[in-house]
């Protein structure tokens, strides 16, 4: 036992009341000490005699213990409210609507917060801001504009700023068909997902229409009809990131027209834009027929495995035609190269009407590979173009037999710049004039200098008629022994002249090249004649040629002092080779 303490109870019923605490087996000795009651503490004697005890009690009140509580963190709403005396007071968790439940899980000492799925129906208007995902759905539901939930197997359709975006997973998502034709809705972008088989024609019935995929290897429109997948008449259209194919031998991927030949001579009604970008046209019978349009832009398209048809990429009277970074390759049945048909891969057809041709044509940076009987680029002789460029393309002739890489006449299609293509010749102007075995004098005795042509020969003709064995992009004249530069491309030229001449006595004979009646003075042939013997000469000259420039040659006789002296000159042999570079 502990030591014995006996004390009066301060503030108790009587100062004579004592508390006795014994130590060991004796109570003979004890320390007498008074106990006093502190704040909110009471001392009460209980029992009597040997059962007498002292009860110490806290009566409450005051500020409680010196502690508190707080909410931590920088976000959210705290649950601690305040401390009142010794009571720490917390806020309750409350469900803001019937979509949330709050349950006291007594058994697990938890408060469970959950979503009541049955009440997730009232979201009207939320779809106006986009698609709202259903947080309770594992199969992928979304909130539609009308506030109802729908499965992702249904086509998405949403409208903002006057434009509708509509998902297409089956043909009916484009709209209802009437007589085999589905009219696409203006100001709508159709997003094609996966393979969509179309038996009806898609009519572009208004402007602002675009049909797109996300991956041209996966998103496909396959048309089985006999007309065309897309039919465009006087409308804009954008088609991107899709695999397109026509499977019927009579079907095409696109037919499109925007032209009125009798309209304004400036544009002939060609006001619309046809944009075909990043397409894959494959396993198809035919490609497209496009006529007119302000701009036809074909870029980054892969067109291959084309078989069992006749129509390639056809264009007619386009105001501006751009074909850039495309590939025309393997035009046979995939897996069966023996099944190969005749096609003109890129075909510029004859004008829609007289005087209504192509404004500008630009074919560049593409790969073009016809095989056996096929034609790479074909331009009809009845097609006219204001300004054309075929440049930086790769033409390959592997397996090409009776077909051709380029099927057009350089002289007819003289307004095309044709440069830096692998496989086909540059479109440079060039020509050769040849006069041989002539014994008739040029009448420089009367007119000195004298232009070289039959009318200026004393007998009215050379012994042999002048010939032009080479003539590309020039107009030749036997009558005038002249070349007319016949291309709109301003070009540099190089000319080499050789000849054999003679005249009586001693002196010099000058030979000069002329352009539009004016002789070039910086380069001439000047053989010296002695005792009337024939002499040969040669000289070269470079210059600049413009469309319509006429080039010919003049001769002039001089005495030994280099004074112009009229004497007849016999031009026995003469060859002029000219080349634009």
For residues 232, 233, 236, 240, the Cα torsion angle rounded to the nearest 10 degrees is: 10
In the block, tokens 């048909």 appear at: 341
Question: What is the pTM (predicted TM-score) of this model?
Answer: 0.71
Residue closest to 187 by CA, chosen among 260, 236, 131: 236
- Span between the terminal Cα atoms of the chain, in Å: 127
Give the integer Cα–Cα distance in Å for 545 and 487.
9
Q: What is the pLDDT along the chain (581 residues), one digit of tens a residue?
A: 444 444 444 444 444 444 555 545 454 444 445 667 776 777 777 777 667 777 777 665 555 567 788 888 888 888 888 888 888 888 898 988 988 998 989 999 889 899 887 787 655 444 444 455 566 655 555 665 566 666 655 567 888 899 999 999 999 999 999 999 999 999 999 999 999 999 999 999 899 999 999 999 999 999 999 999 999 999 999 999 999 999 999 999 999 999 998 888 789 999 999 999 999 999 999 999 999 999 999 999 999 999 999 999 999 999 999 999 999 999 999 999 999 999 999 999 999 999 899 999 999 999 999 999 999 999 999 999 999 999 999 999 999 999 999 999 999 999 999 999 999 999 999 999 999 999 999 999 999 999 999 999 999 999 999 999 999 999 999 999 999 999 888 899 999 999 999 999 999 999 999 999 999 999 999 999 999 999 999 999 999 999 999 999 999 999 999 999 999 999 999 999 999 98
Q: 299: phi > 0 → left, psi -120 to 50 → alpha, else beta; which?
A: beta
Helical ranges in 403-503 per DSSP H:
none
Number of residues written out for the chain = 581
How far CA 253 is from CA of 241, 249, 325, 529, 549, in Å, comes to 15, 11, 20, 73, 46
Rounded Cα–Cα distance for residues 292 and 248 (Å): 26
Q: Strand runs (DSSP E) across 234-300, as ranges? A: 237-240, 243-246, 252-258, 273-277, 280-284, 288-292, 295-299
Measuring CA to CA, which residue among 411, 460, 410 is closest to residue 440? 460
Q: In this structure, what token pair is assigned to residue 578?
A: 């000219």
Q: β-strand 518-519 against 41-46: which pairing, if any?
A: unpaired
Environment class of 450 (CB within 10 Å of its CB; exposed 0-12, middle 13-18, buried 19+):
buried
Find residue 298's DSSP bridge partners: 276, 323
DSSP string, 321-362: EEEES-EEE--SBTTBTT-----EEEEEPPPSBTTB-EEEEE
């Amino acid at each position: 036992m502990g030591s014995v303490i006996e004390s009066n109870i301060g503030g108790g019923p009587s100062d004579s009341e004592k508390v006795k605490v014994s130590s060991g087996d004796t109570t003979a000795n004890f320390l007498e000490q008074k106990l006093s009651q502190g704040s909110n503490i009471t001392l009460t004697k209980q029992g009597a005699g040997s059962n007498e005890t002292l009860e110490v009690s806290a009566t409450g009140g005051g500020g409680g213990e010196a502690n508190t509580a707080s909410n931590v963190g920088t976000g959210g709403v705290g649950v601690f409210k305040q401390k009142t005396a010794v009571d720490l007071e917390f806020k309750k968790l409350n469900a803001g609507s019937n979509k949330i439940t709050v349950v006291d899980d007594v058994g697990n000492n938890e408060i469970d917060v959950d979503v009541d799925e049955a009440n997730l129906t009232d979201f009207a208007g939320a779809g106006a801001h986009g698609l709202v995902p259903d947080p309770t759905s594992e199969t992928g539901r979304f909130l539609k504009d009308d506030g109802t939930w729908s499965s992702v197997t249904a086509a998405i359709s949403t409208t903002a700023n006057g434009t509708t975006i509509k998902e297409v997973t089956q043909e009916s998502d484009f709209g209802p068909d009437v007589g085999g034709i589905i009219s696409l809705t203006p100001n709508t972008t159709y997003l094609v997902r996966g393979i969509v088989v179309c038996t009806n024609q898609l009519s572009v019935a208004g402007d602002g229409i675009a049909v797109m995929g996300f991956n041209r290897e996966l998103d496909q429109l396959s048309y089985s009809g006999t007309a065309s997948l897309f039919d465009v008449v006087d409308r804009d259209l954008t088609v991107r990131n899709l695999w397109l194919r026509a499977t019927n031998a009579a079907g095409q991927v696109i037919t499109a027209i925007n032209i009125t030949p009798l309209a304004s001579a400036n544009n002939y009604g060609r006001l619309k834009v046809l944009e075909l970008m990043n397409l894959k046209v494959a396993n198809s019978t035919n490609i497209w027929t496009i006529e007119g349009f302000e701009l036809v832009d074909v870029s980054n398209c892969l067109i291959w495995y084309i078989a069992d048809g006749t129509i390639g990429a056809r264009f007619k009277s386009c105001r501006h035609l751009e074909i850039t970074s495309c590939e025309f390759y393997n035009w046979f049945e995939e897996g069966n190269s023996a099944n190969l048909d005749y096609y003109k891969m890129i075909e510029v057809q004859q004008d829609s009407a007289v005087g209504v041709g192509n404004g500008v044509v630009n074919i560049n940076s593409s790969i073009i590979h016809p095989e056996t009987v096929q034609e790479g680029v074909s331009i009809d002789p009845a097609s006219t173009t204001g300004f054309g460029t075929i440049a930086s393309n790769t033409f390959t002739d592997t397996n090409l037999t009776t077909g051709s890489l380029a099927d057009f006449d350089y002289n007819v299609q003289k307004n095309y710049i044709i440069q830096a293509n692998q496989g086909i010749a540059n479109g440079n102007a060039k020509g050769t004039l040849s006069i041989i075995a002539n014994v008739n004098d040029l009448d420089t005795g009367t007119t000195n200098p004298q232009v070289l042509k039959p009318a200026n020969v004393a007998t009215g003709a050379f012994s042999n008629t002048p010939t032009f064995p080479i003539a590309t992009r020039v107009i030749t004249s036997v009558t005038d022994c002249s070349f007319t530069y016949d291309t709109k491309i301003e070009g540099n030229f190089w000319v080499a002249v050789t000849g054999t001449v003679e005249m009586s006595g001693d002196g010099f004979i000058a030979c000069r090249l002329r352009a539009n009646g004016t002789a070039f003075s910086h380069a001439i042939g000047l053989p010296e004649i002695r005792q009337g013997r024939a002499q040969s000469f040669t000289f070269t000259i470079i210059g600049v040629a413009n469309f319509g420039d006429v080039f010919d040659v003049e001769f002039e006789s001089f005495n030994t002092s280099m004074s112009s002296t009229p004497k007849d000159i016999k031009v026995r042999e003469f060859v002029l080779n000219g080349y634009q570079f």
